[in-house]
């Protein structure tokens, strides 16, 4: 006979393990063997329990238990978030979807795939190669970020100019609400105007309204040609003109128009740095241009002809096309290996802002000027997705106390209000930007957000304290 002591209530850890088993629910000691982030903070994971559901039913069971106990939970994906959306405290339960990592089906005829939230983005891309298809989302963190996290943060990435952000690539979702209710809205239609589009409640809401478990994704035919080049430009006006020229010349084939300020290009291609410079380092701006298509000979000729026209007309100062796969990878490493900044400078404050293209030059000049008034030795590294109005700004001023961080954020964020910009383009709000959310959302919008939160998560257990308090 087994005796159960009913006089002492079971802890949350005990309840979860009793319902799901110790293989699915790990103790704090087991969880501490893992790191808390795959980005900058690599300290051990500190949590009350780590739940590793193998299916939607496991997750629903875990959330029912946590909801009844008003126990806060933090959803985990690939842990590549940079704004604190996955920060977990000792009193919180972490829930990682990493074991839900199956590509359930691919419909080549209708160009859709049903995938589980824990599928790693690069793994999905590799899986789709044999079908002649690809999923258009492309991020520097593609080797570790997961589809569920991409959707929860509405990731943008390197090809949003052509294909849009994650929101444009999702047809349907399945998610589990705070109380364990499963909402399965796995629509696979491009058009479905029957009532509310429920998937939008979970896209870009950082796990605060529900935890995504499965998704129906839009796929594209895998391109058979790709042409890539670095361009050098001597003014921002030339960059705008070149973007317009590229749109007209390449049409829908234009996938990428990444703009680098001189400071970023010089850092990444410095003599002590990891990369050789494709072009001389004394130009004001650089562009990483890429097109993708389905007619290799025609596409290459059009690419070369267009670059020649841009050079002859003086639109660009110089150009260096990639001539091999090796050069293609070299070009992209200069853009994607942004973590090199942290090996040279510490601390670094990271910003990802959205603003009209026409305002970019003036905005960067203004914040540099204001930052230099406070810290004469400050360094600002700027790069980003010019084609869709998104810049990444890295600021290092030698100090990292709370007062310094607040002042730097103030100088970077406040100028965005008057030019119609946003404090975040693709990274989300998390913990780090919630104090500034009012600069991008008016009181009525914030009130409605809180109304939705209260309706779907009345106890406030899902990613508590993220986005807003």
pLDDT at residue 4, as a whole number:
45
Nearest to 103, CA basis, from 135, 72, 132, 78:
135
What residue ranges of the chain are covered by domains with CATH 3.30.70.2190? 225-336
Nearest to 426, CA basis, from 78, 77, 139:
139
pLDDT at residue 403, as a whole number:
95
Nearest to 235, CA basis, from 287, 303, 270:
287
pLDDT at residue 218, as a whole number:
98
How far is it, in rounded angstroms, from Cα 215 to Cα 103? 10
H, E, C per residue of 247-261:
HHHHHHHEEEEEEEE
How far is it, in rounded angstroms, from Cα 371 to Cα 414? 13
> Which residue(s) pair with 96 in the sheet?
76
- Angstrom CA distances, 72 to 31, 43, 203, stand at 17, 21, 21
**For residue 422, how many C-alpha atoms fall within 13 Å in the half-sphere facing its CB?**
14
pLDDT tens track for 216-253: 999 999 999 999 999 999 999 999 999 999 999 999 99
CATH architecture, range 340-428: 2-Layer Sandwich (3.30)
| 8 A C-beta contact, residue 271 and residue 308 | no
What residue ranges of the chain are covered by domains with CATH 3.30.465.10? 103-221
pLDDT tens track for 12-27: 999 999 999 999 999 9
pLDDT at residue 273, as a whole number:
85
Element (H, E) at 114: strand 112-116
What value does the mean pLDDT of the chain take?
Answer: 94
pLDDT at residue 353, as a whole number:
97
The pLDDT tens digits along the chain (469 residues) read 334 454 567 899 999 999 999 999 999 999 999 988 877 667 899 999 999 999 999 999 999 999 999 999 999 999 988 888 999 999 999 999 999 999 999 999 999 999 999 999 999 999 999 999 999 999 888 999 999 999 999 999 889 999 999 999 999 999 999 999 999 999 999 999 999 999 999 999 999 999 999 999 999 999 999 999 999 999 999 999 999 999 999 999 999 999 999 999 999 999 988 899 999 999 999 999 999 999 999 999 999 999 999 999 999 999 999 999 999 999 999 999 998 999 999 999 999 999 999 999 999 999 999 999 999 999 999 999 999 999 999 999 988 899 999 999 999 999 999 999 999 999 999 999 999 999 999 999 999 999 999 999 999 999 999 998 8
Rounded to two decimals, the pTM is: 0.93
Helix ranges restricted to H, 185-252: 236-250
What residue ranges of the chain are covered by domains with CATH 3.30.70.2740? 340-428
CATH number for 225-336: choose from 3.40.50.720, 3.30.70.2190, 3.40.50.10800, 3.20.20.150.
Answer: 3.30.70.2190
Nearest to 14, CA basis, from 6, 208, 334:
6
| Class of domain 12-96 as given by CATH | alpha beta
pLDDT at residue 38, as a whole number:
76
End-to-end CA gap in the chain: 48
- Angstrom CA distances, 55 to 88, 99, 113, 185, 396, stand at 22, 8, 18, 16, 43
pLDDT at residue 417, as a whole number:
96
CA 388 to chain centre: 14
Burial class of residue 181, CB neighbours in 10 A (0-12, 13-18, 19+)? middle
pLDDT at residue 399, as a whole number:
87
CATH number for the domain formed by residue range(s) 103-221:
3.30.465.10
pLDDT tens track for 379-425: 999 999 999 999 999 999 988 899 999 999 999 999 999 999 999 99
pLDDT at residue 154, as a whole number:
95
- Is the preceding peptide bond at 347 cis, omega within 30 degrees of 0? yes
Greatest Cα pair distance in the chain: 90
| 8 A C-beta contact, residue 146 and residue 99 | no
């Amino acid at each position: 006979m087994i005796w159960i002591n009913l006089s002492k209530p079971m802890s949350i850890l005990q309840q979860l393990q009793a319902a799901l088993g110790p293989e699915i629910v790990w103790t704090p000691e087991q969880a501490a063997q893992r790191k808390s982030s795959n980005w900058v903070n690599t300290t051990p994971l500190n949590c009350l329990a780590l739940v590793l559901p193998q299916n939607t039913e496991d997750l629903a069971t875990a959330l029912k238990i946590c909801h009844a106990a008003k126990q806060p939970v933090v959803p985990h994906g690939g842990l590549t978030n940079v704004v604190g959306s996955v920060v977990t405290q000792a009193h919180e339960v972490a829930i990682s979807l990493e074991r839900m990592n199956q590509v359930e089906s691919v419909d080549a005829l209708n160009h859709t795939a049903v995938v589980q939230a824990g599928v790693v983005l690069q793994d999905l891309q590799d899986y789709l190669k044999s079908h002649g298809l690809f999923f258009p989302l492309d991020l520097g963190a593609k080797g570790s970020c997961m589809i569920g996290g991409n959707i929860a943060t509405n990731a943008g990435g390197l090809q949003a100019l052509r294909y849009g952000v994650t929101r444009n690539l999702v047809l349907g979702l399945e998610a589990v609400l705070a109380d364990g209710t499963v909402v399965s809205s796995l629509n696979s239609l491009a058009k479905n105007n029957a009532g509310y589009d429920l998937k939008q409640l979970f896209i870009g809401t950082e796990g605060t309204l529900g935890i995504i478990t499965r998704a129906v994704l839009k796929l594209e035919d895998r391109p058979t040609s790709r042409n890539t080049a670095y361009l050098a430009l001597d003014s921002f006006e030339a960059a705008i003109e070149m973007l317009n020229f590229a749109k007209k010349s390449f049409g829908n084939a234009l996938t990428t128009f990444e703009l680098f300020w001189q400071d970023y290009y010089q850092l990444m291609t410095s003599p002590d740095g990891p990369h050789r410079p494709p072009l001389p380092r004394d130009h004001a701006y650089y562009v990483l241009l890429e097109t993708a298509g389905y007619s290799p000979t025609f596409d290459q000729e059009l690419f070369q002809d267009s670059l020649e026209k841009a050079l002859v007309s003086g639109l660009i100062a110089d150009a260096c096309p990639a001539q091999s796969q090796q050069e293609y990878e070299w070009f992209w490493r200069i853009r994607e290996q942004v973590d090199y900044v942290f090996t040279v400078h510490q601390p670094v404050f990271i910003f990802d802002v959205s603003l009209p293209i026409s305002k970019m030059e003036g905005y960067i000049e203004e914040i540099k000027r204001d930052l230099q008034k406070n810290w004469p030795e400050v360094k600002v590294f700027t790069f980003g997705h010019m084609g869709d109005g998104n810049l990444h700004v890295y600021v290092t001023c030698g100090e990292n106390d709370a007062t310094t961080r607040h002042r730097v954020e103030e100088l970077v964020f406040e100028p965005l209000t008057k030019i119609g910009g946003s404090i975040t383009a693709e990274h989300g709000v998390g913990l780090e930007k919630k104090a500034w959310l009012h600069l991008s959302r008016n009181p009525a919008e914030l009130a409605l957000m809180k109304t939705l939160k209260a309706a779907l998560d009345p106890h406030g257990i899902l990613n508590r304290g993220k986005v807003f308090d």
